[in-house]
Structure 1
Amino acid sequence: MPDTHPSSGALAALRTWSPPRGTAVRAVVLVLPGGRSRSRQPASSRNLAYRRMVPIARGIHRATRAEGAETWLLRYRVRGWNEPDHDPVQDAWWALDGIRARYPDAEVTLVGHSMGGRTALRVADHASVRTVCALAPWIEDDEPYAQLAGRDVVIVHGTADHTTSPKASHRYAVSAREVSDRVCRFELPDGHAMLRRAPAWTELIRRTVVAAVTGRPDPVITTAMRAATPNGLRETTA
């Protein structure tokens, strides 16, 4: 499902994993890769940020396909955030509008890493979105959060991350609780690439998307959402 935007001749694209034949699609998980603060270079499926999310998307598909969920992995038009254009935000809106057109009643869960986490948080107010899972999100001091009202928000950050700030995502989670009572945040002893504690990252993603797709509360996520502010937004997991 390629498309072009006026600001660029490059193409956005989607890779999709569908539920078993004959299973009605009742939910969609949109996966958003990372990128760079500024770059007009066309994004590629060979970029490390994109390749990092392929096994995550496949894992999400395995965990949710029997429940009627389709998984979409977005490849942006260009690699950069590119203030003030917010190119990945434009691309994510395009993908979300495509989901809405194809599956009008499907609820969407967003899973984004780094710049993709920032993008997921920015587009949370799209009518189809119900849940956001932001992994090591890139957060700036003036990051908006009003768009998270009524959404489930799960943030996961490595305490040894030197690329994006775990302190900034903690401050953001505290602010987000002003507009939603369903916000939680987990800390893992890991860096930005999510490699040392990969099974723990994967398990938190799985819990988030399965709960979102099935509508069945997950005890780990629910308990974290009830934890006190602000220290409760530093939940740890095995």
Structure 2
Amino acid sequence: MAEHSAPVRTARLGRAVGREPTAVGGAVVLLPGGEEESARRPSSVWATASVRGLGRTLVRAGRDEGLAAHVVHYRYRGWNGNAAHPAQDASWAVDEIVRRYGDVPVCLVGMGMGGRAALRASGHEAVNSVVALAPWLPEDDVAAPPEPVKQLAGRRVLIVHGTNDERTDPELSFRLATRAKKANRDVCRFEVHTDGHALHQYRAEVHALASDFAMGALFGHPLSRPVLDALAAPPPLGLRMPLAVGFGRSLHRV
């Protein structure tokens, strides 16, 4: 796809989700979904709906650690080919987090197109972890290079995908996870059986999984047994880990 010539705009961070901590010990950058091609600016409601609820869950889990979470308001609604505007905005957002809060660990959390942006922007030195929910990882052009994974080295990575997702192909996130796992053992992927793109059917379980993973990556909290097993298992086992119904209700930690 050709790069777009679009009006010059600036991305911005939304207000802190929940109460902003007095002393920030870590940060989550929330990256919403979008469209393949669009030079329009996202509406604030449309932009935040897919990630704000998860942000509230993460802030509650990290309250004692001083977790700050912000939604990124993109410059453009679309990915827009080689311009990859949301990935650029994600990198800018991490710079802004560091400017505001100093040298704190950052977890990039993205949904759909935001999942792709999170994976792409993970090479920033402040980022130590990525959570990509139903990431959009197109393979439309067989001549184009595959989605990069080198930037994921040294980061802890969680990918979650519904098996009935009709908007973003779960098989493509499995392929990316397989390539990433060869260079970085700290990659795992969970499959949500029968759930669709928005992961509504098992939202509580998905939020609990993302919270468990992010608190472990950012603050060293003990990970649940399913996450430990997924990280330790060789492909394809650790990349097709089923998300159990009721995950998070009584996590067994070690």
1:183 aligns with 2:184: no
Q: Secondary structure at the match of 1:17?
A: coil
1:139 aligns with 2:145: no
TM-score normalised over the length of structure 2: 0.86
Q: Gaps (5+ residues) in structure 1?
A: 1-5
Q: Is the 8 A contact 1:38 1:81 kept in 2?
A: yes
Alpha-carbon distance change, 19 to 192 in structure 1, aligned in 2, over 3 angstroms: closer
1:209 aligns with 2:214: yes
The structure with more strand, counted as a fraction of residues: 1
Q: Aligned runs of 1:117-156 on 2, under 5 Å? A: 117-141=115-139, 142-156=146-160
**Alpha-carbon separation, structure 2, partners of 1:213 and 1:226:** 19
Q: Gaps (5+ residues) in structure 2?
A: 140-145, 245-254
- Paired position in structure 2 for 1:172: 176
TM-score normalised over the length of structure 1: 0.91
- Paired position in structure 1 for 2:93: 95
- CA RMSD of the aligned region, Å? 1.8
**Alpha-carbon shift at residue 82 of structure 1 (Å):** 0.2
Letter in 2 for 1:207: D
Q: Is the 8 A contact 2:50 2:111 kept in 1?
A: no
1:85 aligns with 2:89: no
Identity among equivalent positions (%) equals: 41
**Alpha-carbon separation, structure 2, partners of 1:22 and 1:32:** 21
More displaced, 17-26 or 210-219? Answer: 17-26
Q: Is the 8 A contact 1:107 1:128 kept in 2?
A: yes
Q: What count of residue pairs does the alignment treat as equivalent?
A: 232
1:36 aligns with 2:41: no
Letter in 1 for 2:148: P
- Paired position in structure 1 for 2:161: 157
More displaced, 129-138 or 87-96? Answer: 87-96
**Alpha-carbon shift at residue 232 of structure 1 (Å):** 2.6
Q: Is the 8 A contact 1:64 1:209 kept in 2?
A: no
Q: Is the 8 A contact 2:6 2:39 kept in 1?
A: no
- Paired position in structure 2 for 1:60: 58
- Paired position in structure 1 for 2:106: 108
Letter in 1 for 2:9: A
